[in-house]
Structure 1
Amino acid sequence: MHPDRGILYIATGPKYVRQAIVSAEKASEVTELPIAIVSDQDVDHPIFDYIIKDHNPKHSYIDKARNISKSPFDKTLFLDTDAYVLSDIMELFELLDEFELAAAVDPNEVVLRYSGERHFDNVPESVPEYNTGVIVYRNNERVNNLMQNWVSYCTTANPNDQIGFRKALYESDVRITALSPVYNTLINWPVQVTGEVKIIHGVGGSISDSSEVEKVADRVNKKTGVRILYSLRHGHVVYPTSKYGTIITRKYSSIMRYTFDRIYTPFVHRPIYLLNKRVQNVCDNGILNTIKKELM
């Protein structure tokens, strides 16, 4: 018999295992749910109650689709390794009394509409793209069949797991519902939220411990009314009901993006990123192997 409910991470490669540990530690601060990880690495950390081996990793998006059915739980909350639980999320499991799967609609649909050639894979354009970084689902035959179809669509012409997930959902008889964006709030994309954000997602490798998650969470939830979370990396600011408002906001957006791209990124962000990457390479591979790799 499976444990009733729990959290699952899928992490192929040492970088993603480190991210999963930080995310799991944060989750354990606000919930007592058991936590499982599927990985190709030899994971030995007490934060994980279940460690499941992936013996054939692809080190790509498909690893998520391949391994998500390995959950040891009857009801699973799957989290990307750069998703962080900020407060109580037990209501998600109650959804599974009425539905079999739930995920948030990706508000930007970037993969569907802007990555390479636009294609809808014989699925109506009106069908949304769901973000696969936070999924809550039951462990049953219909959901497992959906996941198997997801794998097959990820290995054909689809460039990203979310395109395959969209097609698999459309063809499935699984009872699905959409999560509120506060349960999957994308940090590095422009989004609108109202209310307390419960799960942030997309922070990437910039978080090294749970205290840094708290800093981001404080900024996100400083106000709980209607608000827009804006990223300089993506998107433009538009004032649709005013010509002059649009000009002002567009200029402001352009100036801020120029500052980010030409000043902050090359002189602050990238040096810090490269230093952290080099330190991690030394930790993973040793000093000599790291030097050899850089000299090749």
Structure 2
Amino acid sequence: MTSQPAAAPSDRGFVFAATSPRYTIMAQRAARNLRMVMPEAQVDLFTDQDIDDPVFDQIHKVEHVWHRPKMEAMRRSRFERTVMLDADLIFLAPVWELFDILDRFEFAGCHGNVRRRGMGYADADVPRSFPVINTGVLALRRTPALTDFLQRWEDAVRDSEANLDQPTFRRMLYESDLRFVALPVEYNMMHVPALDRREPKMGAPRILHLMRLDKMEPGDPTQPFDLKECVEPKIYRHARRLLTRDWSLKDQPIGLPRMPAKKKPTAGKAVVSKGKQIKKGLRRRLNRLKSA
């Protein structure tokens, strides 16, 4: 069950890493979603942009500007326990328990959904049964072994000039002795259409990882992401229903306000709508008779 502290310990915090104006704006918005459900959290940003935003406790300049700044951010994080976050995330509920699992493990992340060869599944030296881990949400506790892993991972991805970091991460994790644990999918839910088929007994999503945000305009950096702009109304309503029915989130803040109720058509409009349906039905029947 989520345990909400009176004040966030100074050795535990969330870190975003983003380069370019676009992804920095996305990180600013995602951080505001996080603040909606965890206002006491420590939240830092690593970026190449010159910004001043009160949503972050500290803003750090990255030393190496490229498309994968997260490894540097994890190595340089001021926290003993860090939750590393991509910029295309929407927080729906508190996740303090991600720090607690680091009592027993050094590293944690969720399984990825994709099984393409390019994700590393063609690597003959790693069994297919060993999963790809999506690196959009990673929880880590600082140890010498993990710091060394992060540096070698960054060097390998940089040297290979690969666009994706997961295949290299998968191989290196398989070969390592790190104490890693796979998190439940609700801490990094990427396949959002499947959310509509998720039952309350399965638990509510905590973090949505919406790659569609990468294809949208970054928007206003002073405003959180609005899930209603990203998914169909039925999925939004179902996500909120899951959150309100999850026993482990009792008395906890959730990041989805109630949608306005659908307006019922007036009697006159209802009659007109029904008449149009009858008319269409008669027209289809007449066309079938003509073609017979």
Instruction: Classify the TM-score, shorter chain.
Output: 0.5 to 0.7
Output the CA distance in 1 between the equivalents of 2:238 and 2:80.
32
Aligned equivalent of 2:132: 129
Give the superposition deviation at 1:84: 1.8
> Which whole-Å deviations, capped at 9, do the CAs of 1:159-205 have from their partners, x for residues lacking one?
41011111221122110100111000015676775321000002424
Counterpart of 2:252? none
Is 1:4 the counterpart of 2:7? The answer is no
Query: Alpha carbons of 1:10 and 1:189: their partners in 2 closer, same or farther (altered >3 Å)?
Result: farther
CA distance in 1, matches of 2:239, 2:46: 31
Q: Distance in 1 between matches of 2:163 and 2:154?
A: 12
By relative contact order (CA 8 Å, sep 6+), the higher-ranking structure is: 2
TM-score, with normalisation over the residues of structure 2? 0.68
Number of residue pairs aligned between Structure 1 and Structure 2: 219
Q: How does 1:234-249 map to 2 (within 5 A)?
A: none
Task: Identify which of 25, 30, 41 aligns with 2:32.
Answer: 25
Per-residue deviation, residues 185-236 of structure 1 (Å, max 9, x unmatched)? 01567677532100000242436443613665834514539xxxxxxxxxxx
Q: Deviation per CA, 1:90-121, whole angstroms, max 9, x where unpaired?
A: 111110001111100002234xx256x96317
Matched, 1:204 2:207: no
Inter-CA distance 153–122: structure 2 relative to 1 (3 Å threshold): farther
Partner of 2:87: 81
Structure 2 partner of 1:140: 143
Partner Cα distance (2:225, 2:241) in 1: 20
* Deviation (angstroms), 1:126: 2.1
Task: Output the CA distance in 1 between the equivalents of 2:174 and 2:138.
Answer: 16
Cα distance between partner residues in 2 of 1:220 and 1:18: 28
Q: What code does the residue aligned with 1:37 have?
A: L
Would the aligned equivalents of 2:192 and 2:208 in 1 still touch at CA under 8 Å? no
1:213 aligns with 2:227: yes
**C-alpha displacement of 1:67:** 3.0
State the structure with more CA Rg: 2
1:183-202 matches, cutoff 5 A: 183-187=187-191, 193=198, 194-202=202-210
Identity %: 31
Q: What is the CA–CA distance in structure 2 between the aligned matches of 1:25 and 1:127, rounded to whole Å?
A: 35
- Which residue does the alignment assign to 1:48? 56
Amino acid at match of 1:173: D
Amino acid at match of 1:147: L
In the alignment, which of 103, 113, 122 is matched to residue 97 of structure 1? 103
Could you say what secondary structure the match of 2:128 adopts?
A: coil
The normalised TM-score by structure 1 is 0.67
Q: Which letter maps to 1:155?
A: R
Question: What is the CA-CA distance between 1:56 and the residue it aligns to?
Answer: 2.4
Matched residue of 2:69: which SS?
Answer: helix
* SS of residue matched to 1:126: coil
Runs of 4+ in 1 over 6 A off after TM superposition: none
Distance 1:144 1:220, change over 3 A: farther
Q: Which sections of structure 1, spanning at least 5 residues, go unmatched? A: 226-296
Aligned residues of 1:65 and 1:161 also touching (Cα < 8 A):
no
